Amino acid sequence: MPSPLFPTKRMLGIDFFVGTAAEAIAHISKCGGLIVAPAAPSFIALQDDPDYRRAIADADLAIADSGWAVLFWRLLRREELTRISGLALFKALLETVDARIPGNLFWILPREKAKSTTLEFGQVSGYPITDADCYVAPVYQRSEDRDQRSDSVGQAFLPAEPISSITGAGAPPLPQGEGRVEKTPTTSPGIQDPKLVSIIEQRKPKHIIIGIGGGTQDKLGSYLKHKLTYRPGIYCIGAAPGFVTGDQIVIPMWADRFFVGWIFRLLAQPRTLLPRFWSARRLPGMIWRYGSEFPRLKK
């Protein structure tokens, strides 16, 4: 794999960008590509979810969004890692000239309420966001649940074949934990949405903001990267847009800076987020065991 065109530091097999949020945005604005921002629970998915592993390996730029990961890296590996939160990255994007140009931003959102708050945010803040710039994503089915889907599933709800079906002859191997993750093309990230691809191809936005949640967003981003005929910036930054538009609880920048934004989120959505945050208890052990190497997939 060629060396990145920007400085990085590797943690758990992922080359994280070393620099500022504005510098990351400048690079993607110029070159396009897939940006990922793994949260603490998402690191755990590297061992549990083959589709997610493949999507993360396919990223062109990764930012260390997880305050817990950065903290444990410092404590256990005695190394500094530059943290850029998804919130900081998103705000840096909004500060660019690109964000003020009609049609440049395309929003993939989790529900109609998020769409409404995004449109209201655009009106109040002076960003030219229209109804056509927003897409409410379906509830994408996990590839392992493919055989349990209903016959009434629509065109936009098309799960891909499970990853095991494409790892035979001629298919790129899954990374297994030795050295750097190879960025190989992915033909089946576990999600498909031809309707979305058609909409984006017609509109050709320069920046695609995916805010539908950890894990799923990265698979969708990888899918779009390989299906689109041009190379936009694809931002897999989870709830970050909602923190700004008002769809999610507002997180003060001081809380984001001091790694405690998760407390605000947990207080707002305890039943939803507590199980995810609890899964992150495995993260210190992974950092201690694997360091800069990609974690092994559990069987």
User: From first to last of its 299 residues, what are the pLDDT tens digits of the chain?
Assistant: 345 578 899 999 999 999 999 999 999 999 999 999 998 878 888 888 899 999 999 999 999 988 878 888 888 888 988 889 888 999 999 999 999 999 999 999 988 999 999 999 999 999 999 999 999 999 886 544 444 433 333 333 333 333 222 232 333 344 433 344 444 444 445 789 999 999 999 999 999 999 887 678 999 999 999 999 999 999 998 777 877 886 555 555 544 554 555 554 445 556 655 555 555 677 888 888 999 898 888 76
| pTM score of the predicted model | 0.76
Find out whether 109 and 115 touch, Cβ atoms under 8 Å: yes
Hey, what amino acid is at 20?
A: T
DSSP characters for 254-276? HHHHTT-HHHHHHHHSHHHHHHH
| Number of domains making up the chain | 1
Answer yes or no: is 61 within a domain. Answer: yes
Which residue range forms the structural domain that includes residue 25? 8-144+152-290
Answer yes or no: is 181 within a domain. Answer: yes
CB atoms within 10 A of CB 177: 16
**What's the CA gap between 130 and 122, in Å, rounded?**
8
Answer yes or no: is 60 within a domain. Answer: yes
User: What's the confidence (pLDDT) of residue 147?
Assistant: 40
Using only the alpha carbons of the chain, give its radius of gyration: 18
Answer yes or no: is 299 within a domain. Answer: no
Structure tokens at 66: 């997880």
Structure tokens at 56: 């993360």
User: What's the confidence (pLDDT) of residue 4?
Assistant: 59
Structure tokens at 155: 């065109």
Answer yes or no: is 297 within a domain. Answer: no
Answer yes or no: is 59 within a domain. Answer: yes
User: What's the confidence (pLDDT) of residue 267?
Assistant: 52
Answer yes or no: is 295 within a domain. Answer: no
